[in-house]
Amino acid sequence: MGLSAKRPSRGDEARQRILKEVTETATEKKKRLNAEIEESLYKQIKMKSVEEGRSISDITRDLWSEYLSK
């Protein structure tokens, strides 16, 4: 990976700050998020979480953090 002359935009800085806040606040109060998904997708998610030894909540938080950091 080469060096880039591109300066980080304010959006990039804000995303990095928010991602840092989210990852550093493990003791922060949690909110419940509900979503309707197909049963077949749920089964795949559940199987993957068991294989990885992680909760669906942990995987979901990681996916949302990744999505929001773009």
Q: pLDDT higher for 19 or 1? A: 19
Model-level pTM?
Answer: 0.58
The residue with tokens 């304010």 is: 10
Q: Is the pLDDT of residue 3 over 80?
A: no
> How far apart are the C-alpha atoms of 26 and 41, rounded to whole Å?
28
Q: What is the pLDDT of residue 15?
A: 79
Sketch the domain layout of the chain as residue ranges: 35-70
- Judge whether 59 and 49 are in contact, CB under 8 Å: yes
What would the pLDDT profile of 10-67 be if each residue is shown by its tens digit? 777 877 777 777 666 567 888 999 999 999 999 999 999 999 999 999 999 999 999 9
